[in-house]
Amino acid sequence: MKTILITGGTGLIGQALTQLLQKEGFAVTYLSRKRSNGKPKSFYWNVATQEIDDDAITGADYIIHLAGANVAGHRWTKKYKQEIRESREQGAALIYSALERNPNKVQAVISASAIGYYGERGDEWLDENKAPGKDFLGTTCLQWESSVQKISTLNKRVVLLRTGIVLSSEGGALPPLVRPLHFGIAPIFGNGHQYYPWIHIDDVCRMYLHAVLNESMSGAYNTTAPEPEQYIDLMNQLASTLGKWKVNVPVPMPVLQLALGDFVKTLSMSTRCSAEKILATGFEFRYPQLKSALMNLLKQQKK
């Protein structure tokens, strides 16, 4: 039985991915700030102090790196933006140093990245060869990916999954969008015509599994559905699926910025990502269209 070591395993993607990997016959272990002999077993690491239990590395066949400060979970102050960047770079650096000094059997490192790599791009179709944005997220993702790519110098296959807006019934972006619709309100950020590169959480997890199994995969891949939607269309389809009548209410962005800081800029950012590269590897989306994804997820919420 092959063992997959996951960082950030208790997060939204990590929990769903753990279930899929175990179902597919993999043993799963975690790197965590808290040791645990439960299932999955958690080995200790501390990114800030660059400490790690080497047994986690020597026992792994693959590493999936998801850990990093929550981008949407905190007001973006100057200090928190530094934490977002450093948590990602230092996490990758700690994995690199552990792999470098320990004899190991790790075949590949599959790391999260984000579509924030591209920055604000309007209606432009974005494949993986496009230049990174020059804003905070663009420069952060570029440095994040560079720190992970360094692992390839240790003769390890490295895959970077630039993840879009993950839709899940368990958390993330979807519940906050559903909540106001129950009161007949659809909050509109910016002009509403920005492209939101969404993806169903099941397809995110299946893409990580695909990257583990497909030895020809390396480098960056957009982890987004083939048909990105403009935000206002997403809200229309969401209201329709819920069977709710709504009024579109523009959100005053300067007011929202008081609560969210610079994070507010991401709400009106347009990123129209192509899925052609991952499709060319043979990956098949279970939910390529937004309507079927929403129907599945909202059905889960009702259970």
The pLDDT tens digits of the residues spanning 184-223 come to: 999 999 999 999 999 999 999 999 999 999 999 999 999 9
Q: Is residue 15 predicted with pLDDT exceeding 60? A: yes
How confident is the model at residue 279, as a pLDDT?
A: 98
Domain that holds residue 147: 3-302
Q: Is residue 38 predicted with pLDDT exceeding 70? A: yes
pTM score of the predicted model: 0.95
Whether the CB-CB separation of 224 and 197 falls below 8 Å is answered with yes
How confident is the model at residue 73, as a pLDDT?
A: 74
* Residue 303 pLDDT class (50, 70, 90 cuts): low
Extract the tokens encoding 17.
């991915």
Q: Is residue 54 predicted with pLDDT exceeding 60? A: yes
We report the CATH number of the domain holding residue 49 as 3.40.50.720
Number of domains in the chain: 1
Q: Is residue 302 predicted with pLDDT exceeding 80? A: no
The pLDDT tens digits of the residues spanning 2-12 come to: 999 999 999 99
The pLDDT tens digits of the residues spanning 237-275 come to: 999 999 999 999 999 888 888 888 888 889 999 999 999
- In this structure, of 62-71, 253-262, 277-286, the range with the lowest mean pLDDT score is 253-262
* Residue 299 pLDDT class (50, 70, 90 cuts): confident
The pLDDT tens digits of the residues spanning 90-122 come to: 999 999 999 999 999 999 999 999 999 999 999
Q: What is the mean pLDDT of residues 61-74?
A: 92
How confident is the model at residue 256, as a pLDDT?
A: 84
Whether the CB-CB separation of 84 and 71 falls below 8 Å is answered with yes
Q: What is the mean pLDDT of residues 34-45?
A: 92
The pLDDT tens digits of the residues spanning 134-176 come to: 999 999 999 999 999 999 999 999 999 999 999 999 999 999 9
